[in-house]
């Protein structure tokens, strides 16, 4: 797993972290690794740390809002004899939906904006398509612009918008991906690779019609809106909608 992803295990009345996550959590929460215990059979031992509910909440809040990490919470769906640990919920700086109760239980104003970037081409220039979603502000935005090989305009946009997370299609395989990743990370934004197939228009019309609160008398057809002519950008927007698994209640 990436070093910026922390996995925690829900034990009912408390939570545990294991391996490198246990050592990291001990340093962050208790400022000491002395609380880390070794568990398991001889030769197969692993570091383990117990967190009570209060420590867990403080740790997760710090991971998502300050350190810009991803968090995965696992729960045991198995029996007393056979464990079956599955992801109960997960979050990242741009996708806080499943941690709302925890994060909003404190008096803090959260911005959980996320952008997605897709690169297209016209006859002469590189075209950068950007989708933007801020659930807390109930905003969906798209834009397109030409850019140079250093993605100077994209970097200026990232600085201005200040997203918590950026989705990029594919993996570290291409030089373009590596360049954009460096540009975005310079502004302290977490980069999350996603499948290239998510950066498409598949299901977009249906999702936008469900998410957009149309004005009274307005034609309830999102694809009739002029913004949808920005085809590269709306593909990026669609990737965010799939990533957030956002429902209408969060944007209306």
CATH number at residue 173: 3.30.420.110
77 and 174 fall within a common domain: no
**In this structure, what are the phi and psi dihedrals at residue 162, rounded to the nearest 5 degrees?**
65, 50
Token pair listed for 178: 């590596």
Same domain, 152 and 189: yes
Taking the whole predicted model, whether its pTM rises above 0.85 is answered as no
3-class DSSP state for residue 135? coil
Which pLDDT score is estimated for 252? 47
Cβ count near 95 (within 10 Å):
24
pLDDT surpassing 90 at residue 40: no
Are residues 148 and 245 both part of a single domain?
yes
Average pLDDT over residues 219-227: 80
Same domain, 139 and 224: yes
pLDDT confidence band for 119 (50 / 70 / 90): very high
- Is the sign of the CA dihedral 13, 14, 18, 21 positive or negative? positive
Domain range for 29 is: 5-91
Judged against a pLDDT cut of 60, whether residue 162 lies above it is answered with yes
Residue 103 in any domain: the answer is no
User: Is there a single domain that holds both residue 81 and residue 125?
Assistant: no
Is residue 211 in a domain? yes
The answer to whether residue 107 sits within a structural domain is: no
37-40 long-range contacts, CB within 8 A, separation 24+: none
Residue 14 phi, psi dihedral angles, 5° rounding: -155, 175
Based on the domain organization, do 152 and 84 belong to the same domain? no
User: Contact 188/164 with Cβ under 8 angstroms?
Assistant: no
Does 123 have pLDDT greater than 80?
no
Q: Is the pLDDT of residue 107 over 70?
A: no
In a domain, 100, yes or no: no
List all residues 6 or more positions away from 56 whose beta carbon is below 8 Å from its beta carbon: 8, 14, 15
Q: What CA–CA distance (Å, rounded) separates 22 from 19?
A: 5
How many domains in the chain? Answer: 2
Among the residue ranges 40-44, 126-130, 178-182, the one predicted with the least confidence is 40-44
143, 56: one domain: no
Render pLDDT for 183-216 as a digit per residue (tens, 0 to 9): 999 988 899 999 999 999 888 888 888 887 777 7
């Amino acid at each position: 797993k990436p070093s910026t992803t922390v996995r925690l295990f829900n034990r009912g009345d408390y939570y545990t972290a294991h391996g490198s996550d246990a050592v990291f959590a001990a340093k962050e929460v208790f400022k000491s690794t002395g609380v880390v215990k070794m568990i398991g059979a001889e030769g197969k031992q692993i570091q383990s740390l117990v967190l009570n509910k209060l420590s867990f909440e403080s740790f997760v809040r710090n991971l998502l809002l300050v350190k810009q990490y991803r968090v995965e919470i696992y729960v045991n769906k198995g029996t007393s004899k056979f464990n079956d640990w599955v992801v109960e919920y997960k979050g990242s700086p741009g996708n806080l939906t499943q941690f709302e109760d925890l994060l909003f239980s404190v008096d803090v104003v959260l911005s959980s904006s996320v952008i997605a970037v897709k690169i297209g081409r016209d006859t002469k220039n590189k075209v950068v398509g950007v989708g933007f979603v801020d659930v807390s502000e109930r905003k969906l935005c798209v834009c397109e612009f030409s850019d140079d090989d250093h993605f100077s305009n994209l970097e200026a946009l990232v600085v201005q918008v200040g997203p918590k997370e950026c989705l990029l299609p594919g993996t570290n395989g291409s030089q373009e991906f590596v360049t954009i990743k460096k540009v975005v990370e310079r502004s302290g934004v977490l980069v999350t690779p996603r499948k290239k197939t998510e950066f498409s228009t598949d299901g977009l019309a249906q999702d936008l019609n469900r998410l957009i609160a149309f004005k009274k008398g307005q034609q309830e057809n999102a694809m009739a809106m002029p913004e949808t002519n920005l085809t590269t950008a709306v593909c990026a927007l669609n990737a965010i909608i799939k990533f957030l698994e956002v429902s209408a209640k969060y944007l209306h």
